[in-house]
Structure 1
């Protein structure tokens, strides 16, 4: 009898031990590890749950996403070819795509056709999309998920922010839910529903890489950077948080950035809705402008200017006869406050200024000569030409440069040179920073972006640049190999 009880006890102990080590049915490996740790009383090392199912998000939101096709009077230089996708003409998939080319802009002639995506924000037919989708369009067509097509009215287009508002003659439409980008963080999962190459209902997923990426040539708004897959026709697609709320609008940026694999950008929905309200009420969105170019204040720069810590926005150039120039601001000033509010990050200043109306007076506190000074600036008007008014050239070395303004030439005492607007890849590795002025390429002076590009192209794998920074000149060698 005792022997039988011992056997049963041994069997129960083996079963209990086996149950504690086996993954429970229906759980992933990571979840099984978490369960085991909770059983062991060690909850602090639990592995986060990996998101693998976006079907509910797609099911609940696809009806609020629309396909947009436009016809323009002439080809749009800023838009890439949409259809057919590049590839071998002998590829069966390419031949299949060709039969749709006349529908999606594959024809050539005096008009051009582009594709994009939008989403319904009001049951009465209001649709939000990216500005570039409709820029230069003479005819806009919206196709709903159920196949119904409408000719759309352009309520307003604001290239400065990258936002456009459309209206179609329909009621009772399914809408998306507007969220807030302020609740999102780098590293979180997001999903997008778009129409790459006209293939509507295309769902992609990824994570947020950065919540505030400044791309000054494309928008005054710091953008959300993600690793979502982005193709032609995805511009204007809604970016969703995992709870199914829109936190951004996909937007194409300049080719120097967007051609890099794994980089996609979105306009934060909070700023987009501010512009949308103005477009709906006034059909335009006027923005204030200081007339300056700014950059971050790094630790070394803060030390050189006598600041206790890196803060504010450093003025790198001032537009001649612009609003700030009239108030006495000059390159080297560090703007610390606007209307009494501290500027902790340089990306904060353009958004704050653009939210104000032209003609508004603003009080600036700025640092110059180890002392805080005050100035009142009457804001000018920001428009789409502001982002394309200066000739630029992007070289294979990762440098984006522009011509010097007459005021900048006087300020640095140089007859020529080009100013660095962006530095990535080999240039960034060599230590070249935005705001630097390149005077020479391999002992040859340069005075325009085109000349700079030609000289670099002929320089081979090693390029010697004479760089002017904070009054000092130094040669920098770029390795192009």
Structure 2
């Protein structure tokens, strides 16, 4: 019996020893890749002179005449010297990589933001002061130039060929440790992050920390497929969620910065949101997909093409739009002035519109666009009706002049003054929202709203377009069966 136990234990130990050997044999070997590519990765340090706030005496007080007083030196030490503040330098560290042998270097915009001096250190410890060719805030890409020739440049790959689960490798300077190598896999593609609508980020689980920003992300062929840019962290350090700018996006920005010093992007002129399951049902769609148009800016390419609020864009130039976040990068990379086809769903029917892509205005120009015009010259004055929205679990009233002016609203609409119960209370609707459309048709006033609510078929969702301080948004509410 004892011999049998020993025999089984020995057999199990042999099996366990064999598993790691097999697994290790299947793992990639990065040594050749690192040896070939690390010379193209650079360390970037910046300095910035900051003027401290002036100290000294409080406002309204002057330095007293204490030249011959025993307190003169003491007074000058604590107040006189503070009145002459000294500037100080701040420094930051990041990474970058050489994209051409004549000294062009790519990095993140936030690495060199507001820097007075930018220093680039190569693998052989040579150091150069860099010229900032340009930076693009919307993509967080910056292009530098150093006075050097014959430099080892990276090979640019195609991020479209990346597959989720594929191995990738990063080289950078986390916390100032030059040429640190970390590896992982592609976790997802086409990620949209807040305030970064024009970049379809590559998500990885490669360990990225402060100082890695601006460094390259390589595939197993030694090609750069991304620029490491951001991490998601609750601690400030790596937590398994890293994001890289696709290299085709970064190179396009760099080429424009080199040629013109600024970046131009395609523009439709719409405000969009995600299509939820309930909203898809209300628009007669079989499944949730595409980008829902919540606002069409006046005189924009979308307005001239006939796009309407409530349309769902499901295709752009033959490519599917799976989510709303996929549309801005598609449009942004389309040549300005070119024709594009929009596949849309309107009133449950699929149709195609042709649009001429415009140039994305600057933020100050975009702020000048007001709310779109609606039919009608005057705001219908309808009296409050407490029962107008009770079927949907709310009470509504005419929109006040003050609220209409504050949100720059056109005529019509109703204001939500109270949430009574479900379905409104659980839909995301808020008190103070202004309902301006129902099922893609404008709301003329309280009476119009009451009539159309009464006519809604039960057991289905209705799409309400609301205006709030943060902008327009569609909300789906399930209509209860009539009693």
TM-score (norm 2): 0.62
Q: CA deviation at 1:372?
A: 3.7
Q: CA deviation at 1:289?
A: 1.4
Match of 2:475 among 449, 469, 478: 469
CA distance in 2, matches of 1:74, 1:380: 40
Match of 2:139 among 146, 149, 161: 161
Q: Give yes or no for the alignment of 1:65 onto 2:71.
A: no
Match of 2:177 among 199, 208, 213: 199
Q: CA deviation at 1:60?
A: 2.0
Match of 1:170 among 139, 148, 158: 148
Deviations 1:201-221 (A, max 9, x none): 111122211122112512412
Q: Give yes or no for the alignment of 1:252 onto 2:230.
A: yes
CA distance in 2, matches of 1:200, 1:255: 22
- Would you say the 8 A contact 2:210–2:237 is kept in 1? no
Q: Cα 1:318–1:72, aligned 2, differ >3 Å: closer, same or farther?
A: farther
Unpaired stretches in structure 2, ≥5 consecutive residues: 1-10, 52-85, 369-404, 419-425, 434-466
- Three-state SS of the structure 2 residue aligned to 1:60 is helix
CA distance in 1, matches of 2:130, 2:148: 10
Unpaired stretches in structure 1, ≥5 consecutive residues: 1-19, 35-46, 76-107, 391-403, 418-430, 450-466, 475-481
Q: Cα 1:175–1:323, aligned 2, differ >3 Å: closer, same or farther?
A: same
CA distance in 2, matches of 1:244, 1:65: 13
Match of 1:51 among 17, 23, 27: 27
Match of 2:19 among 30, 51, 56: 30
- Would you say the 8 A contact 1:294–1:313 is kept in 2? yes
Q: CA deviation at 1:306?
A: 1.2
**Residue 329 of structure 2: aligned partner:** 351
Q: CA deviation at 1:264?
A: 0.8
What aligned pairs does 1:305-316 form with structure 2 within 5 A after superposition?
305-316=283-294
The structure that has the greater radius of gyration is 2
- Three-state SS of the structure 1 residue aligned to 2:198 is coil
CA distance in 2, matches of 1:157, 1:346: 27
Deviations 1:65-88 (A, max 9, x none): 00112234669xxxxxxxxxxxxx
- Three-state SS of the structure 1 residue aligned to 2:257 is helix
Number of residue-to-residue matches in the alignment: 361
Q: CA deviation at 1:190?
A: 1.5
- Three-state SS of the structure 2 residue aligned to 1:279 is helix
- Would you say the 8 A contact 2:49–2:87 is kept in 1? no
**Residue 218 of structure 2: aligned partner:** 240
Q: CA deviation at 1:292?
A: 2.1
- Three-state SS of the structure 2 residue aligned to 1:284 is coil
CA distance in 2, matches of 1:329, 1:405: 26
**Residue 200 of structure 2: aligned partner:** 222
CA distance in 1, matches of 2:229, 2:412: 36
Q: Cα 1:112–1:307, aligned 2, differ >3 Å: closer, same or farther?
A: same
- Three-state SS of the structure 2 residue aligned to 1:277 is helix
Q: Cα 1:308–1:52, aligned 2, differ >3 Å: closer, same or farther?
A: closer
**Residue 369 of structure 1: aligned partner:** 347
Q: Cα 1:301–1:249, aligned 2, differ >3 Å: closer, same or farther?
A: same
Q: CA deviation at 1:281?
A: 2.6
- Would you say the 8 A contact 2:39–2:123 is kept in 1? yes
- Would you say the 8 A contact 1:178–1:246 is kept in 2? yes
CA distance in 2, matches of 1:377, 1:290: 8
What aligned pairs does 1:14-25 form with structure 2 within 5 A after superposition?
none
RMSD: 4.4
- Three-state SS of the structure 2 residue aligned to 1:137 is coil
CA distance in 2, matches of 1:312, 1:377: 17
Q: CA deviation at 1:119?
A: 0.4
- Would you say the 8 A contact 2:233–2:241 is kept in 1? no
- Would you say the 8 A contact 2:108–2:142 is kept in 1? yes
Q: Cα 1:331–1:181, aligned 2, differ >3 Å: closer, same or farther?
A: same
Q: Give yes or no for the alignment of 1:270 onto 2:271.
A: no
CA distance in 2, matches of 1:373, 1:118: 45
Q: Give yes or no for the alignment of 1:184 onto 2:162.
A: yes
CA distance in 1, matches of 2:36, 2:319: 41
CA distance in 2, matches of 1:181, 1:21: 44
TM-score (norm 1): 0.62
Deviates further, 159-168 or 140-149: 159-168
